[in-house]
Amino acid sequence: MNEALRQESRRLEQSWTRHSAQMLETYLVADVEDPRINVQSLLTRHFLIFALSGRHFEMADAELRFAACLNWILRFAKENPDVDAMAGVRHALQCGADNAEGVELPHFLRATYRALSAGAEGGAAPDYVSAALEGVAFDGRRPRLPASVLDTFMDLWRTVLSSETSPARRVLEPACGSANDYRFLEACGLASRVDYTGFDLCEHNVRNARKLFPRAHFEVGNVFEIAAGDRSYDHSFVHDLFEHLSPEGIRAAAKELCRVTRRSLCLHFFNMDEIDAHVVRPVEEYHWNTLSLDRMTELFAEEGFNGRGYHIGTYLRRRVGCEHTHNPRAYTLILGASTPAADRAR
């Protein structure tokens, strides 16, 4: 690691260690960022489930509908912070109406409600739409969905995965935070089926993660210089990292991530666009860039990983019929090694 990257590492570390451990433990795990209903977190789990089993589960599509419905209910509750408004939506759904007091009820919400009521939704899911509408609570004007509803697919996946017998794969998560996504790998039964390592530059985050999951492997680490041998991990995933790096840091992180990964990558971005070049924006100790989909795809292709990029809004619209997403610049890349794993391990 050169001096410029060392200095960047120090600035990144400072930007996170200035926050309390308590704040970091609850950061990015609530509201639309709650990994139980955040579509990119769902895609991480579906990526790992497919990597382990080699097959697509219909329940993955059902979970996307679940996330779309609960995010719609959450947004409606923010705009209409009143239990009577929630009851009005449920009554309209029960009556088969397409609106509640003039508020349009999207087709995917109505269709999912009908399927749940008829017991026709994937994975034998309970009627989480009614449960969410009945159970939403308000702290002032801020809505909270019931934990029992949010956990719906954690319970369903745990049952499904209990019968899977595939061998464990080694999985790496750089910038793991305070086990932000790992806590739901644990909840859905995935954690016991992978050999997981998570690392973070911020010691507060690592302490939080170890406190929450003392048997899991969390360490302080740097994506510019990953403490692992070549092709040490079968699969790697990362959330919302590259936008915060310098152009040199982006290249270094991509190179290191590809160096230590044998099979496939799942990369999530919160600020990406279909533009010709990155828009680089230094902000205090780090960056807040808008990344180019084409340039990031090319960068990973140069390191031997190819695949597809998904605009999350478009993905939701095509798979579920949902026209709304809280972040119109969210993208995910699913990339596989372009050479056989056996060759890459040599």
Domains parsed from the chain with CATH numbers: 3-30+168-344 (3.40.50.150), 62-153 (no CATH)
pLDDT for position 277:
98
Percentage of residues in the chain having pLDDT higher than 90: 90
Specify whether the CB–CB gap between 260 and 224 falls below 8 A: no
List CB contacts of 30: < 8 A, sequence separation 6 or more.
none
Specify whether the CB–CB gap between 100 and 92 falls below 8 A: yes
Specify whether the CB–CB gap between 55 and 46 falls below 8 A: no
Residue whose entry in the numeric block shows the structure tokens 């391990």: 345
Residue 311 zone, left/alpha/beta (φ > 0; ψ -120 to 50; rest): beta
Residue 10 has pLDDT above 70, yes or no: yes
| 214, burial (CB in 10 Å: exposed 0-12, middle 13-18, buried 19+) | exposed
pLDDT for position 124:
80
pLDDT digits over 28-78, tens only?
899 999 999 999 999 999 999 999 999 889 999 999 999 999 999 999 999
pLDDT for position 123:
59
Residue 342 has pLDDT above 50, yes or no: no
Tokens of 34: 């709650």
pLDDT for position 345:
45
- pLDDT-based confidence at 284, cuts 50/70/90? confident
Residue whose entry in the numeric block shows the structure tokens 């319970």: 155
| Mean of all residue pLDDT scores within the chain | 95
Torsion angle of C-alpha atoms 257, 259, 261, 264, degrees rounded to 10: 80
Residue whose entry in the numeric block shows the structure tokens 């739409």: 129
Tokens of 259: 């160096």
Q: What H or E segment, with its residue span, contains residue 194?
A: strand 194-200
Q: Name the packing angle between helices 107-117 and 128-135 (round to 10°).
A: 110
pLDDT for position 22:
95
CA distance 60 to 48: 12
Residue 122 has pLDDT above 60, yes or no: no
Specify whether the CB–CB gap between 178 and 212 falls below 8 A: yes
Residue 343 has pLDDT above 80, yes or no: no
pLDDT for position 100:
97
Torsion angle of C-alpha atoms 221, 225, 231, 234, degrees rounded to 10: 40
Report the relative pairing of strands 261-269 and 233-239 from DSSP bridges: parallel
- Kindly give the residue spans of alpha helices, DSSP state H, lying in the chain: 3-17, 21-26, 39-53, 58-79, 83-95, 107-117, 128-135, 147-150, 152-161, 182-187, 203-212, 247-260, 293-302, 312-320, 341-344
pLDDT for position 166:
80
Specify whether the CB–CB gap between 73 and 92 falls below 8 A: no
- pLDDT-based confidence at 152, cuts 50/70/90? very high
pLDDT for position 128:
97
- pLDDT-based confidence at 164, cuts 50/70/90? confident
**DSSP label of 33:** G
CA distance 264 to 258: 9
Residue 117 has pLDDT above 60, yes or no: yes
pLDDT for position 20:
95
> Of the given ranges (9-18, 95-104, 123-132, 143-152), which has the lowest mean pLDDT?
123-132
pLDDT digits over 300-340, tens only?
999 999 999 999 999 999 999 999 899 999 999 999 998 74
- Strands in 305-311's sheet, in edge-to-edge order, are 217-220, 194-200, 169-174, 233-239, 261-269, 331-337, 305-311
**Averaged pLDDT, 243-264:** 98
Residue whose entry in the numeric block shows the structure tokens 């451990």: 21
pLDDT for position 108:
97
**Averaged pLDDT, 340-344:** 45
The structure's pTM equals 0.95
Strand partners for 282: 287
Percentage of residues in the chain having pLDDT higher than 70: 97
CA distance 59 to 160: 9
pLDDT for position 217:
98
